[in-house]
Structure 1
Amino acid sequence: MTNTNSNNATLADFIWKNADVLWGNFKHVDFGKVILPFTLLRRLECVLEPTRTQVASTHQAMANQGVDMDLILPPITGYPFYNTSNYDLGSLGATRTRQNLEDYISSFSANARVIFEQFDFANTIARMDRGGVLYKICQNFAAIDMHPNTVPERTMSNVYEHLIRKFGAEVNEAAEDFMTPRDVVHLAIELLLAPDEKIFVNNPGLITTLYDPTIGTSGFISDGMEHVDTLRDRYGNAPTIIPYGQELEPETHAVALASMLLKTIPSDPGRDLSQNIKLGSTLSNDQLANEKFNYCVSNPPFGKKWEMDQKDVVKEHTEQKFEGRFGPKLPRVSDGSMLFLLHLLSKLEDPEKGGGRAAIVLSGSPLFNGSAGQGESEIRRHLLENDVVEAIIALPQEIFFRTGIGTYIWILSNKKPEHRKGKVQLINATEMYEPLRKSEGNKRRKISDDQIREIVAMYSDCEPSKQSLIMDAQDFGYRRIKVLRPLRKKIVISDEGFEKLAEEKAWAKRSEEQQSAWTDLLREEMNSEHDWHWVESFAKDAAKKDTALGKLDAALIKSLRAAFGVRDPELKPVIDKKGKVTPDDDMTDFENVPLATDIQDYLATEVLPHAEDAYIDETYKDEADEGVGIVGYEINFNRYFYEYQPPRDLEEIDAELNAVEERIAAMLAEVTE
C-alpha cells in the first residue's frame, strides 16, 4: 500500500473499489453510506492501535471500580477518545461478524460513537449482514493501511473529500457544494492568518480561536491549524488554535467530528475538540450564538436558497434588528450567501478584546446583485459604511469542482490597521493559475503555492499596482436619483386614440352599452384639441347628465388621458391644482450619482445638456439618511480593472476574411469535383 498512500486520490479510488463487493445488495446511491463510515472506522482503529493493549488491560482492571473511563483512558491513547473492545476489523470472525462489529463500535467512547450514529451505521451493518457482504468488507478495510505515520491527517482529509465527491457523482447530487479545493482553502487561510504571524511569534502561549459556520469536512479548520504548526518549525513556538464550527449535513458533520477527534493541542492534549463542532443550520439555529472568535472562515454554497431558514431569519431580523446578526434588509430568498457575510461579521471578536478577521469565499453575485435600497445593496452598504471590508480578491475561473464561474475571497475585519481604515483593497488574481493535467469536474485550473504566496504578498503590502487597487469605501456608493420631466400634453380625440382606449383595463370593465355611450359622446369632439385638465371636467359633467355612461371613477379618467393624450414639446408644463408642475410619468428616469458628486452638479453636467427641462424629485429620499436619492453600493471588478483594447486594423480583418473565403471556396470545389 505504500504507493497507494502516496497519492490521496489513488487511495480514495482504492477504497472506493470496495463498492464492487456491494453490487446486487446495495443500490449505487447507497455505496457512500458503507464506504465513508468504514473509512472513518479504519482510520480511528489505526490511530488507536499503538495503545490498544494498554487500554484494554486498564479497562479490564478498573471496570468494576466505578471510575470514569473518560478521565482514565484518553491520557493513555493520547487522544480524547478510546475503544475498549478486544476486536478490530481484522478479528471480527466470519460467523458472528455483525454481532462482533456492533460490540466493537459500542465500545468506543461516546464522542466517537456519535459519528456512526449519524451515519445510521447500525442499519447499514444489518443490511450488509443480510446480503452476505459484511465480513468481506471488514476484511478489505482491515488490509488498508491508514496509520498516521503512513497517511498524514491532511492527506486523510483529502481522501474524505474525494470519497464524498465520488459519492455525490454516483447519486447525481451536489455533494461538492461544500467542497472547497485545497488550493483555495490554503489561499484563504494564508490571507487570514499570515498578517498576524509576528503577533503569533512574539506572544508564546497565545490561544486563539478559528470558526467555520459551514465546516463541511473541516478542510479550512484543519488547514488553519496546520498553518500555525509550521510556525513552530520556523520560529520554535506557535499559538494554540481552538477550532469551532457548525455543519448542516449529518454525514459531513460526522467526518468533521472524526477529524477533530484526531487533533490535539500541545497545551491541553486531552481536550476533545470535536465538542466544538455542532450539527444544524447556522442561519436558523446558531448553536454558538454567544461565542465570538478571533478568526472566521467559510465557503457557503453558491446561489443556494434559504427558504428553509426564512422563518427564523426573518424573525431575528424583525425582532433584533442590528442587535442580532441580520440588521440590514434581507437578500432575496434565492441566494443566502450574503446572510453568511452578516453572520461572520457578528462572530468577530469585539475590537476591545483584540477584534477579529474573516475570510469568506463567494460567487460574483454578492458584489452587485440588488439595486439601491434592496437587501443585497443594503448589506454591502452596512459592511462598507462600517468599514469592515478589508480586501476582495478575484480568483481564476474553473477552479471549483462543480462550477466554472468567477469566485472571490472577501476579507472582513473589525481591527483594521491605520493605513487600511476607510479603504478597500481589490486584487485581480484571475490570471494567476496553472492548468490541471486532468480536470476534476469543472476544476481545470489550480493556484500554485508560488502564486498563493504572490497573492498574499500583494494583500500584505497593500500597495497600488496593476493587479492591486486601493479604493475609498465611498467609491462603491451612489445615490439613485429620480429625474422627472414636466408633462407637456394635450388631449386630442382621434381614431388612433380610440384604438388605444380599447386596450385600457378600466375601459374593458365597462359594459357594451356604457362603452357605446362614451364613444358617441367623445366622437362629438373628434379632431378638436383640449388642454390636459379638460378630460376630467368633461367626463364629470357628462356622467352627471347621463346615467347611461355609468359611474365615473379615477381609473376611467386615467384611461382616457392615456388614450387621447398627445405629447407636444412646445406646450407649457401642465400645472396641478396646487400650482405645481405635473411630471410626465412616461419620461421618468433614474440616474446613479457617485456619492462624492453633488446631485445638482450631476444634473447640470450629465442630464440638462440632453433634457433642459429635467429636474430631480426631491421627495424620492433614502430611508436611512433622509437625503434625496436612494443610496446604493456595488463593487464592479470589471469596471475597475478594465483595460482598453484598441480595435484591430481594418486591413488585417479584411485579409483574414479573404483567407476564410478562399478556404471555403476551395472546400466547395473539392465537393463538386
Structure 2
Amino acid sequence: MDNQVHNSIVSFIWGIADDCLRDIYVRGKYRDVILPMTVIRRLDAMLEGTKQSVLDMKKTLDAAGITNQWPALCNAAGQAFCNASPFRLRDLTSRAKKQTLKTDFEAYLDGFSPNVQEILEKFKFRNQIDTMTDADILGAVIEKFISPTINLSPEPVYKDDTKEEIRLPALDNHGMGTVFEELIRKFNEENNEEAGEHWTPRDVVELMADLVFAPIADQIMDATYSCYDGACGTGGMLTVAQERLMTLAEQTGKQVSIHLFGQEINPETYAIAKADMLLKGDGDQAEHIGFGSTLSNDQNATRQFDFMLSNPPYGKSWKTDAEKMGGKKDILDTRFNVYLENGEQLVMIPRTSDGQLLFLLNNVAKMKKDTSLGSRIAEVHNGSSLFTGDAGSGESNARRYLIESDLVEAIIALPENMFYNTGIGTYIWVLSNKKEERRKGKIQLIDATTMKSPLRKNMGKKNCEFSEEIRTEILRIFMEMEESEVSRIFNNEEFGYWAITVERPLRLRVFLERHIPDSVFKNADERADYERAIDRLPKDTPLDNWEAFAKATKLKAALLKKVRPYITEKDRSAQPVEGEPDTDLRDTEIVPFTYDGGIEAFMKNEVLPYAPDAWVDDKKTQIGYEISFTKYFYKPVELRSLKDILSDLKTLEKETDGMMAEIIGGLEG
C-alpha cells in the first residue's frame, strides 16, 4: 500500500468524526467511537469471506450440543477470532427503525469471540451505543465505515466482475497496522494532555530499537526471539522492535520469528494494543498482551525475554501497588530485593511517589542468562533515576545493583521537549548482560541534548525530533564507543561512593552549683545520696573531665545519666567523653570509590588536619551510586575580561555625555 492510499484511508476515517459525531461528542471523545469502530470494521472485513462457513459450523455444533464452540468457529473463520452472529456489518444498514438497529447491532457485537469481547469491554464501546442511538447517528456511522469509497479488507475491490482491474487495493495487515497507528497519533495530537502517557514519539522509539538491535545484528541466527514491554501503552515499541528485527534478518539472510509480549494498566490503551495485534493478523501475539499492573500483578513472572524496550511512567505514584504487595516495608518480591555475593540483602524499593526504577528492575529480572546473546534492554527515564536518593536508599541501591552487576552499557541524555506531555530532560538507558569485551566494566555517557531537529508545528510539549541523520550519528557514537565532547566513557567505579559518618567526641564541663529539679529523682533519698556524693568530692576533682568526675562521685551510672543534662554544658576545651560522639558536630562526607587510598586516606587528607579528634563510625558507612551528566558535561560560561567591561563602560559614558545637562536644562526651562 502506497502512502497516498494509506493517507486517503486515514483522512476518510478521520472525516467520519467530523461528519457524524460533531455536536454529539466533544472533540476529545471522538476516539471513543472511531477507534473501536475501526477495529470492528477491519475484523468484519476479514471475516466476510468465511461468514457462511462459520454459520454452517455453528449450526453443526449446536445440533451436536457442543458448548465450547469458539476454537472450532475460529478455525472455520481462518482467523484467531470470529463472529458467530447471523449478521455482517453491512447487513445492518437496511434497518429503518433505530431501535431495531440498536438491537441487531448489539447482537452483532455479542457474536464476536471472547478475545474481541475483551477489547470492546476495555474500550467501553457499548456505553456509546445508547448515545449514538439517541442522537440517531448509529446508522450513519456504520454506513460510513462500510462505504465503497474505502477498503479495509485484506482483499482488493475490483471495478467489475471480471476482476481484471482493481478499484481499491487490498489493505494488508501491515498497512492496517499503519492506518491504526496513524489514527492513534492524530487522536493523541488532539488530546495532548494524555498523549505522552501512552505513546512514545516514533523517532525516540526508532533510536531505542537501533540501540537494542544494531550491536548484535551480525549475531542474529535462524531462530525465534522474544520482545517485551512491561508498560506497553498502545504497543508501538513492540511493533517497531518487530519491524527492526525482521529487517535485520532480511538483510543478513536469516529466517527469524519474534514473539511479542506486553502488559498495560490503562484499559483503553490495553484495548488498542491488543486490537492492533489482531488487526495485523497476529492473533497469538494479541494473547500475549496482559492487562493490569506490571508491578503488583506481573503476568510474565516466569518468562525471560531476548529484547526489552519500555517507557515506564515517571514521577507517578505507585502507592496503590505497594499496598497490594503488602506495604512498602514488607515487599519481598525478588525483582526488587536481591542478595549480594557477601550475603548482604540489597533492598531496591524506591519512594512511593516514583516507581520508574521498578520497571527497569522488572526487566532486569527477565533477562536471559543461558543464551549467547543474553538480553538487551532500552528504557526511557527522567533524571530522577540517575541521582535521586541518598546512599543506602532504594533508588541508590537499584543503581548499585545495575552497575555492580555490570549491566549498564550506556545512558543517553535526550533534548528537552522531546515528549508530548513533558518538557523535562529524559534519558535512554541501554543495558546488556552479555557485554562485548571492550564494554565490560565501563559505562558510556552520551550527551545528545543539542542533537535535535525543530518541528514545524509543536505537538503538545514536543517541539523537536530526531531526524534519521541524527539517529544515525547517535548510533555511530555509541557503536564506535567514541570519546568526544558529547561522549565520555567511565569505569563503573566512577559512579560509586562511600557516605561516611564522621564523629567528634562529646566534651562536657560540669557545673555543680546548677539546680536539679526534684522530678529528676525518684524520691528524697536519691537526691540526698547525690548531694552527699557531691559534698564528699575531692577538691582536685576535675570539672572539665566527665569520666573522672563520674568516677570520683562513686554514684551509679543510672543516677548520673539522669542528672547529667542539668549539671553539664558542652565545652570544646573540656576532655572527651569516652565512646560518646557530639551529635551537633556529626557530619557526613562523600568519599568517591576513585579516591586514592579510600576512606582512610580521605580522613587523613581532608578531615584530620582540621579535626584531629574525628573518627569514622564504620557501622553507619553506606555505599551509594549516582550519575551526574552535569558533572561530566558541564561547560562553564567564559567570563568577560576586565578590559572588555571597562571599554563598554567608556562607550556608554560617551553615548550619555551631555544627556544630564539636557534633562536639567529642560527642567529649568
Q: Give per-residue Cα distances to partners, 1:503-557, cap 9 Å, x unaligned.
A: xxx99x99xxx9xx9xxx9xxxxxxx9426399969x9999xxxxxxx9895774
Check the 8 A contact 1:593/1:602 in 2, yes or no.
Answer: yes
Residues 1:553 and 1:343: Cα distance change in structure 2 (over 3 Å): farther
d(CA) in 2 for partners of 1:60, 1:555: 91
Check the 8 A contact 1:232/1:238 in 2, yes or no.
Answer: yes
Query: Would you say 1:130 and 2:143 are equivalent positions?
Result: no
Q: Which residue of the partner structure matches residue 88 of structure 1?
A: 89
Residues 1:234 and 1:659: Cα distance change in structure 2 (over 3 Å): farther
Q: TM-score normalised to the size of structure 1?
A: 0.79
Residues 1:2 and 1:587: Cα distance change in structure 2 (over 3 Å): closer
Q: Which residue of the partner structure matches residue 565 of structure 2?
A: 558
Q: How many residues align?
A: 608
Q: Which residue of the partner structure matches residue 51 of structure 2?
A: 56
Check the 8 A contact 1:396/1:430 in 2, yes or no.
Answer: yes
Deviation at 1:431, TM superposition (A): 1.1
Q: Give per-residue Cα distances to partners, 1:460-508, cap 9 Å, x unaligned.
A: 22233332222111111111111223344535799xxx9xx9xxxx99x
Deviation at 1:410, TM superposition (A): 0.8
Amino acid at match of 2:55: Q
Q: 3-state SS of the aligned residue for 1:251?
A: helix
Check the 8 A contact 2:54/2:76 in 1, yes or no.
Answer: no
Counting only pairs closer than 5 Å after superposition, residues 338-487 of structure 1 correspond to structure 2 as 338-352=357-371, 354-487=373-506
d(CA) in 2 for partners of 1:552, 1:660: 77
Q: Which residue of the partner structure matches residue 117 of structure 2?
A: 113
Query: Would you say 1:647 and 2:639 are equivalent positions?
Result: yes
d(CA) in 2 for partners of 1:631, 1:243: 38
Q: 3-state SS of the aligned residue for 1:603?
A: helix
Q: Which residue of the partner structure matches residue 625 of structure 1?
A: none
Amino acid at match of 1:126: D
d(CA) in 2 for partners of 1:534, 1:2: 89
Q: Which residue of the partner structure matches residue 306 of structure 2?
A: 294
Counting only pairs closer than 5 Å after superposition, residues 478-497 of structure 1 correspond to structure 2 as 478-490=497-509
Q: Which residue of the partner structure matches residue 531 of structure 1?
A: 544
Check the 8 A contact 1:246/1:279 in 2, yes or no.
Answer: yes
Deviation at 1:209, TM superposition (A): 0.2
Query: Would you say 1:282 and 2:299 are equivalent positions?
Result: no
Unpaired segments ≥5 residues, structure 1: 266-270, 522-528, 544-550, 621-628
Residues 1:491 and 1:437: Cα distance change in structure 2 (over 3 Å): farther
Amino acid at match of 1:533: W
d(CA) in 2 for partners of 1:166, 1:313: 37
d(CA) in 1 for partners of 2:150, 2:564: 85
d(CA) in 2 for partners of 1:12, 1:541: 95
Deviation at 1:378, TM superposition (A): 0.8
Query: Would you say 1:587 and 2:579 are equivalent positions?
Result: no
Check the 8 A contact 2:227/2:305 in 1, yes or no.
Answer: yes
Which one is further off, 256-265 or 467-476? 256-265
Deviation at 1:130, TM superposition (A): 2.6
Residues 1:167 and 1:559: Cα distance change in structure 2 (over 3 Å): farther
Amino acid at match of 1:464: E
d(CA) in 1 for partners of 2:548, 2:10: 78
Q: 3-state SS of the aligned residue for 2:577?
A: coil
Deviation at 1:141, TM superposition (A): 4.2
Amino acid at match of 2:504: R
Q: TM-score normalised to the size of structure 2?
A: 0.79
Q: Which residue of the partner structure matches residue 268 of structure 1?
A: none
Residues 1:191 and 1:9: Cα distance change in structure 2 (over 3 Å): farther
Deviation at 1:211, TM superposition (A): 0.5
Residues 1:392 and 1:555: Cα distance change in structure 2 (over 3 Å): farther
Check the 8 A contact 1:393/1:409 in 2, yes or no.
Answer: yes
Which one is further off, 115-124 or 139-148? 139-148
d(CA) in 2 for partners of 1:37, 1:566: 77
Query: Would you say 1:635 and 2:647 are equivalent positions?
Result: no
Check the 8 A contact 2:322/2:331 in 1, yes or no.
Answer: no
Q: Give per-residue Cα distances to partners, 1:147-175, cap 9 Å, x unaligned.
A: 37565523421422442453564xxxx45
Q: Which residue of the partner structure matches residue 179 of structure 1?
A: 199
d(CA) in 2 for partners of 1:650, 1:90: 85
Q: Give per-residue Cα distances to partners, 1:299-328, cap 9 Å, x unaligned.
A: 111111111110344579857564x44433
d(CA) in 2 for partners of 1:377, 1:176: 27
Q: 3-state SS of the aligned residue for 1:396?
A: coil
Identity %: 32
Q: Which residue of the partner structure matches residue 41 of structure 1?
A: 37
Unpaired segments ≥5 residues, structure 2: 155-169, 339-345, 532-541
Name the Cα RMSD after superposition. Answer: 4.2
Q: Which residue of the partner structure matches residue 218 of structure 2?
A: 198
Q: Which residue of the partner structure matches residue 606 of structure 2?
A: 606
Deviation at 1:635, TM superposition (A): 0.8
d(CA) in 1 for partners of 2:358, 2:451: 29
Counting only pairs closer than 5 Å after superposition, residues 227-246 of structure 1 correspond to structure 2 as 227-231=244-248, 234-246=251-263
